[in-house]
Amino acid sequence: MMWSLRHVRGLALSNEGSIVPLFLEVSNRSISVNSGSKGENVKLLIDGEFRESRSSSWIDVLNPATQEVVSRLPLTTNQEFNEAVQSAKDAFPKWRDTALPNRIRVMLKLQDLIRKHTDELALSITTEQGKTLSDAKGDVFRGLEVVEASCGIAPFLAGDVLENMAAGIDCYSIRQPLGVVAGICPFNFPAMVPLWMIPVAVTSGNTMVLKPSERDPGAAMILADLALQAGLPKGVLNIVHGTRDVVNSILDHPDIKAVAFVGSDQAGKHIYQRGCANGKRVQSNMGAKNHAVIMPDADVDSTVQALTGAAFGAAGQRCMAISAAVFVGGFEKWKQPLLDCVKALKVGAGIEPDTDVGPVISKESKARCEKLIQAGIDQGAQCLIDGRGVKVPGYEHGNFVGPTLLAGVKTNMDCYQDEIFGPVLSCLEVDTLDEALAVVNSNEHGNGTAIFTRSGAAARRFQHEVEVGMVGINVPIPVPLPFMFSFTGWRGSFAGDLHMYGKAGVHFFTQPKTITTKWNPEDVALCAGAVASTSSAVKGTGGRIPGLDRVGA
């Protein structure tokens, strides 16, 4: 069983047994960009320099397993924010005109540096965010895939051409970068989400202002330093820190043309509405309630393992986590195997090599999880496994919530209707696939879903009729690879029209320009030294005046 749980997590566990200061050695120089050394101040990145903020307001970045202060994060001042935007604006003309192969070469170097420093990045993530080291390495790797995909970005930047759309007239389109763009990142994937944004935006020719999560900025700072060492010119990437005020500054600044966001419903709706009201292009990836539909013919062992990994990995703090399991034909035959699998999970600090479920990000998140668990019980759900009150020796102050299994859940219960964003799996029962589809489609969110079955007919009907943007068939977390596809949440999980990374992501950060051309045939002779007469030039147009014949022809 333990082998299967490790297989679900997908990566071998690391052997580091203690937290060490995160001074990262890269390219023979010591970086102190505040990736996690205890009590240090997190720097800003403006115009290619890591700067100490002049702010008088700071936030403590805490280790969620210990409550120790990892670093201090500044709330960027208005002047510092404007300097960051101006740096990006000043850098844009030259970066836009940099040959695409040269921009790609920066990404090639960056992916190499990220591979070499995955361990440092993972340790920063575990220290600040709490997830296990193996989960943290997965966080880095999934972001690395977007860097790799950006090295092959050229086909997504290609335009179209139509020859002789009218007599002697050609028409073609090209894609050009927008200018200064911005990214606003969540706490749950400190490396992956910045890497969803930065490589696509800058390889397309834009310059960027990035705001990492105020809860775990370390990984983004390490990535920014690696990007500079990979050859990214000063001003192409700038990093600011803060909370709502800095977000609003991003949304209101006239020089920022587009905003990419991943995070909660409340923040996402505000960002989309305010950004659009200010004339910006916005892609807003928001909350989720992801369902797994389990058909009676599904393989028990592999399905139970998949549910366990998808519900409780990363302590349930994933926008693609399975938080609702819909059992078609009843839950009884699944109950004991699922109980056995979930009970085998070990709760602990992410730094410990045998931990399966780390802490949630904050005391507030822990309290929210516990409140929704109790609400489910009060409203009639059965708590088969209760993760509240779990104690981890040596980490008594950690934000731990153990894996929790609620059965008999109904769609009108708070534990179902709200996104818990913690290690809680709600189990529902229905009689038919029709009813399962109705449950999934009636939920306001449409991020991800999965069906477990051996029936091709059931799977095909499910994928066709379910109103969700990412569908897995016997795959619990169907996050698309970025080399061709995009992260395609639907309905309440996404606001915008162009999704993140992949072809849609490139198109989000670029805009089409269409050019119509006409060249006089007699100009060929002029190039050879002949001089065309005025009468022959008129004759070349057929005696008609351009603009008065067929609208511009």
Where in the sequence numbering do the catalytic residues fall?
Answer: 319
241/252 Cα distance (integer angstroms): 16
The pair phi, psi for residue 227, each rounded to 5°, is -65, -40
A 10 A CB-CB count for 529 gives: 6
Query: What are the residues facing 472 on neighbouring strands?
Result: 450
Q: Please name which of 61, 91, 88 lies closest in space to residue 75, comparing C-alpha atoms.
A: 61
The span from the CA of 199 to the CA of 205, in Å, is: 10
Residue 358: helix, strand or coil by DSSP? coil
Strand ranges in 372-482 using DSSP code E only, listed in sequence order: 382-385, 404-407, 424-430, 445-446, 448-452, 470-473
Instruction: Answer for the pair 23, 7: CB distance below 8 angstroms, yes or no.
Output: no
236 SS3 class: coil
Contact call for residues 517 and 180 (beta carbons, < 8 A)? no
- Show the 3-state SS of 54-113: CCCCEEEEECCCCCCEEEEEECCCHHHHHHHHHHHHHHHHHHHCCCHHHHHHHHHHHHHH
Please list, in sequence order, all residues whose beta carbon lies within 8 angstroms of the beta carbon of residue 173, skipping any fewer than 6 positions away.
159, 160, 161, 512, 513, 514, 515
φ/ψ (deg, to 5) at 405: -120, 115
Look-up: residue for tokens 């500079």? 228
Extended beta strands in 307-461, E state: 322-328, 382-385, 404-407, 424-430, 445-446, 448-452
Residue 543: burial class (beta carbons within 10 Å; 0-12, 13-18, 19+): exposed
User: Do 207 and 236 touch, CB atoms closer than 8 A?
Assistant: yes
Residues 497 and 165: their CA atoms lie apart, in Å, by 30
